[in-house]
Amino acid sequence: MKEIIIATKNKGKAKEFEQMFLPLGFEVKTLLDYNDIGDIEETGSTFEENAIIKAEELSKLLNQIVIADDSGLMVDALDGAPGIYSARFAGEEKNDEANIDKILQLLQGVPDEKRTARFYCALAVAIPSKSSQTVSGECEGRILHERRGSYGFGYDPIFFAIEKGKAMAELTPEEKSQISHRAKALEKLKENLTAIFE
Ligand SMILES: O=P(O)(O)OP(=O)(O)OP(=O)(O)OC[C@H]1O[C@@H](n2cnc3c(O)ncnc32)[C@H](O)[C@@H]1O
Ligand SMILES: [Mg+2]
């Protein structure tokens, strides 16, 4: 099987990429398979910049085509926060549960109609000695008042996905990949980038 490398250390993302790339005939490798490679610092000011930083750094190291995902949650009542800081919203240790608690606390007393939010995903593709490309996808939703469901990862338990009428964490992997920000970005990648899929 062909192989595609994703510059991520996030287990939830890695699982989703495995499931989404399998039908395309790709086996996914991630930074979880290269444990001698350290953390790549996300110094950009947009999702796109951070995705490019991650993809290019690993692509240079391995001299291979690499995809990276920079994603996050944008809450309207918090002026778009946590945004690019989603992973470390409640502290450097990147704790999903603490991040969720912080969102719920900040939105205490905020009524449903003001709890609108979206997930955003930028995917960057770095190809050795070519310039990098990015695509993005979004998924509209609302922040719930409490956790629901046990699928997925990250902020999924408190994100009500409008298109499905359910919490993201109540969706099976197949259902999530019909509507997610990540799946939408990947769709565009398939259209735009024949180089990795030929
Ligand atoms: O940088 P890598 O190694 O890929 O892993 P990361 O977890 O640090 O990933 P990001 O920097 O892109 O931060 C993404 C944050 O947004 C959250 N997130 C992204 N996609 C999500 C999804 O599909 N469902 C729930 N939360 C998501 C995720 O939990 C993180 O807190
Ligand atoms: Mg990160």
Residues within 6 Å of ligand 1 by CB = 8-10, 13, 42, 69-73, 86-87, 96, 99, 119, 152-156, 180, 182
Quote the pLDDT of residue 197.
63
Q: Quick one: average pLDDT of 15-42? A: 93
Q: Which of 152, 162, 159, 189 is nearest to 73 (CA)?
A: 159
| Å from CA of 12 to ligand 1 middle | 8
The neighbour count for residue 120, using CB atoms within 10 Å, is 23
Residue 195 scores a pLDDT above 80 = no
Q: Quick one: average pLDDT of 86-107? A: 97
Residue 149 among known ligand-binding residues: no
Query: pLDDT tens for residues 115-140?
Result: 999 999 999 999 999 999 999 999 99
Query: pLDDT tens for residues 70-80?
Result: 999 999 999 99
> Is 135 in a helix, a strand, or coil?
strand
Q: How many CA atoms lie within 13 A of 67 on its CB side?
A: 29
Which ipTM value was assigned to this complex?
0.99
Per DSSP bridges, beta strands 66-75 and 26-30 are unpaired
pTM of the model: 0.97
Mutate to test the pocket of ligand 1, among 71, 143, 151, 178 (most ligand atoms within 8 A of CB): 71
Per-position DSSP letters for 43-101, written without gaps between them? --SSHHHHHHHHHHHHHHHHTS-EEEEEEEEEEGGGTT-BGGGGGGTT-TT--HHHHHH
Closest ligand (CA of 66): 1
Domains of the chain: 2-197 (3.90.950.10)
Per-position DSSP letters for 139-179, written without gaps between them? EEEEE-SS---SSSSTTGGGEEETTTTEEGGGS-HHHHHHH
Say whether 70 is catalytic. Answer: yes
Spatial separation of the C-alpha atoms in residues 167 and 130, rounded to whole Å: 40
Residue 34 among known ligand-binding residues: no
Quote the pLDDT of residue 191.
83
Residue type at 189?
A: L
Spatial separation of the C-alpha atoms in residues 126 and 67, rounded to whole Å: 6
